[in-house]
Amino acid sequence: MPYYEGKIKKMLPKTYLRKHVAHEIYMVLTHFKTLQPMMDKYVYNDGTTKVLMCLSGTIPVMFKDQTYNIPICLWVEDSYPQTAPICYVRPTPDMWIITGKFISSDGEVKLPYLQEWKHGECDLVSLLQVMAATFGEFPPLCKQHPELQQASCRQQYHRQAEVLSTSDGSLYLSLAREEGQQENETNC
């Protein structure tokens, strides 16, 4: 079902700058057709919850001349556009989060664009374009290697993964060593 600005505006509570936010979300949906707007419950780190506008779906990312659809969730608070959205990558069950400079272990996106957010200079479309470009250089997610999929669930999901680069510029996935284990690396 296609969205139009008026429909988006009606979804937003009156605490939002409804006309501005609806226009920005509409612009996002014209550029990123796989994202869907919805009002949903967001849980803050302190445990409090609030119903916020959420854009959920995938964004296309070019990595090594191939397009990958990276699942994301972008939360727009009612203080937007004065404050930056809260962004996460959302791995499917067959993916791992690759922690690093721009991604925390829970999948939160930590880009300079978000940290240096300026009302009037930053917007949702530009944010998503920055995310796509950054994820093309620093992939936030990695598909599990088929051999790893047969490992126990505990081993798969309770180990930190990080993308590292070699002197020749190639990337590899490094899994944090568990006590008594040899270092385990695989191509990503």
Q: pLDDT at position 141, please? A: 94
What is the number of other CB atoms lying within 10 angstroms of the CB of residue 177?
12
CA 157 to CA 168: how far, in whole Å?
Answer: 30
Give the integer Cα–Cα distance in Å for 43 and 100. Answer: 23
Tens digit of pLDDT for each residue in 36-46?
999 999 999 99
pTM tops 0.85: no
CB 58 within 8 A of CB 113: no
Q: What domains are there in the chain, each with its CATH number?
A: 5-91+108-138 (3.10.110.10), 144-187 (no CATH)
Closest C-alpha to 29, from 5, 65, 60:
5
pLDDT tens-place string over residues 157-180 = 344 445 554 555 545 454 454 444
Structure confidence at residue 168 (pLDDT): 52
Q: Using an 8 Å Cβ cutoff, are 60 and 132 in contact?
A: yes
